[in-house]
Chains A and B, each alone.
Chain A
Amino acid sequence: MPKVTYVTPSGDEVVVNSDEPNLMQAAVTNQVEGILGDCGGVASCATCHVHIDPQWIDKVGPATDIEQGMLELEDNATDNSRLGCQVKLTPELDGLVVRVVGQ
Chain B
Amino acid sequence: MPEHIDPFREDRQQSGVKTATAEGKEVPLVLRLQDIRKTCKDTKTFSNDNPMMIVLHSEAHVRNVRQLPIETDPPEHTDYRALVEPIYRKPQQPEYQAEMRKLVAGMVKNAAANGEVEVVREFAVPLQSRGLAQLLGLPQSEAEIWIGWGVHIFRDAQLGSKGSEVDKYIFSKYEEMQGSDGDDFFSILNRIDFRDRKLTMEEKHGYANMAFAGGRDTVINTISSILVYLAEHPEAIEFLREDEMHITTATEEFVRYVSPVTIISRTCPHATEVLGHQVEAGERIGLCWPSANRDETIFDNPDEVVLDRAPNPHVGFGFGAHNCLGQHQARLIVRSLLHEVCDQLDKIEFIEAVPEIEEESSYSRQVGYKSARIKFVS
> Which residues in A have some Cβ–Cβ distance to B below 8 Å?
36, 38-45, 64, 66-67, 69-70, 73, 86
CB-CB < 8 A to A66: which residues of B?
298, 311, 313
The docked-state distance in angstroms from the alpha carbon of A86 to that of B313 is 12
11 A-B contacts, Cβ less than 8 Å apart?
Answer: A38-B328, A40-B249, A41-B248, A42-B249, A42-B309, A42-B311, A43-B310, A43-B311, A43-B312, A66-B298, A67-B311
Report whether A44 and B252 are in contact in the complex, using a CB–CB cutoff of 8 Å.
yes
Q: Which of B249, B313, B314, B328 has the most CB of A within 10 A?
A: B313
> Which residues in B have some Cβ–Cβ distance to A below 8 Å?
33-34, 37-38, 41, 92, 248-249, 251-252, 298, 309-315, 317, 320, 323, 327-328, 331
Interface of B is mostly: helix
The docked-state distance in angstroms from the alpha carbon of A44 to that of B310 is 10
Report whether A44 and B312 are in contact in the complex, using a CB–CB cutoff of 8 Å.
yes
Partner of A42, one of B92, B252, B298, B327: B252
From A70, which residue of chain B is reached at the shortest CB distance? B313
Q: Determine how close the nearest CB of chain A comes to the CB of B230; give it in whole angstroms.
A: 19
Sample of 8 further A-B pairs with CB below 8 A, known A42-B311, A43-B313, A73-B41:
A40-B248, A40-B331, A42-B312, A44-B252, A44-B312, A44-B314, A64-B311, A69-B298
CB-CB < 8 A to B251: which residues of A?
40
From A37, which residue of chain B is reached at the shortest CB distance? B92
From A36, which residue of chain B is reached at the shortest CB distance? B92
The docked-state distance in angstroms from the alpha carbon of A101 to that of B116 is 50
CB-CB < 8 A to B323: which residues of A?
45
